[in-house]
Homo-oligomer: A and B are copies of this chain.
């Protein structure tokens, strides 16, 4: 029996509502000038007030020391063991551009690359062609017709694209064509199971036709494929938690992730205010809301400490609108840290706050990485957030008599 079976047995539907506000890359590191993190420098009266009435802690999305990618970080927040529930690279790339994957689709990450006249790879990234050129070449490749499946080719960024194969009984059990080094030819795609034979020949047919189509297009005269994967079939939020969940996220990747666990994705604008508007508008219709703020992570990735702190302040100011909804449970957390001083995702645990009428507030009176370290949630795996949220919403029955 796994942890989902246990929760499934105890979970019961009720009218109480849970809001999970995921502030992407929220966790930070002190900058040398002040010795304070982004969250510590930001003036956050609302977050601090909520923290004083909440239980707080530091969560490890994956495991101590492990830097989460966006997908596993989010799956952990959603209560899915990120080691057990994995999403293939091709599918992730497709989710990232908002491609409407269907069950049974096989997706692969593609690179435009440069090969010499004998077919050896000279540059695995074709000199990082512009995204515009990539789009034009994808249109060219999209015109390819395959024997036995539909093909979709969509640009991602620079030399990167996604190829999606749609048809009957396809399988992603395929090797990559990318040789991972220059001076070698692209590798034939080999089926790793009998069921994958058909898909392997479709993929090889695509590569051959792509080569023909690109013959005059320097430097991007060939493609490399890797990370063949299928739309995952995960247990759904409604099945495990008995929730009717909605996702509010402006970025395609997070909308895709929410869809994978069975959330209804609401239409929303790009700005943080828009997302809060969407929450308020649909608040009566669902009993679980995942609200995703992307801008903090982007600022962290850019190394822009100031901007990240200002965005946190902007979220803080909007919290009074959220709080006016009187959610039964409000969790403020993050899928990973993105310290501006590192300009990247990091392994540092993320500050978490859980507010509820039924929480037992701890001594934490400030929402910051340092203060949360002394919270009653302690240091804990992020996958515990969902069971705790359900419990505090009085949606979990007793275990045993």
Contact = CB atoms under 8 A, between A and B. Distances in A.
A68 B380 contact: no
Interface stretch (A153-161, A217-225, A309-317, A341-349): A341-349
A376 B351 CA distance: 11
Nearest to A61: B399
A69 B401 contact: yes
Interface stretch (A139-147, A281-289, A355-363): A355-363
Contacts of A390: 65
Contacts of A28: 360
Interface residues of A, number: 64
A1 interface: yes
A388 B69 CA distance: 17
A64 B401 contact: no
Contacts of A370: 360-363, 376
A83 B171 CA distance: 37
A67 B396 contact: yes
* Best-surrounded residue of A67, A89, A389 (most CB of chain B within 10 A): A67
A391 interface: yes
A240 to B, nearest CB: 13
A57 B361 CA distance: 15
A58 interface: yes
A388 B68 CA distance: 14
A190 interface: no
A131 interface: no
Interface string A361-383: 11100000110011111111000
A400 B92 CA distance: 10
Nearest to A1: B83
Contacts of A3: 63
A71 interface: yes
A387 interface: yes
A365 B64 CA distance: 22
A82 interface: yes
A70 interface: yes
A168 interface: no
A399 B396 CA distance: 31
A180 interface: no
A384 interface: yes
Given A29-B358, A363-B374, A374-B374, A396 B69 contact: no
13 contacts: A10-B66, A63-B387, A65-B389, A66-B387, A68-B398, A69-B401, A71-B401, A82-B399, A346-B358, A347-B391, A362-B373, A363-B374, A374-B374
| 6 A-B pairs closest in CB distance | A65-B387, A378-B379, A69-B400, A65-B391, A373-B376, A72-B400
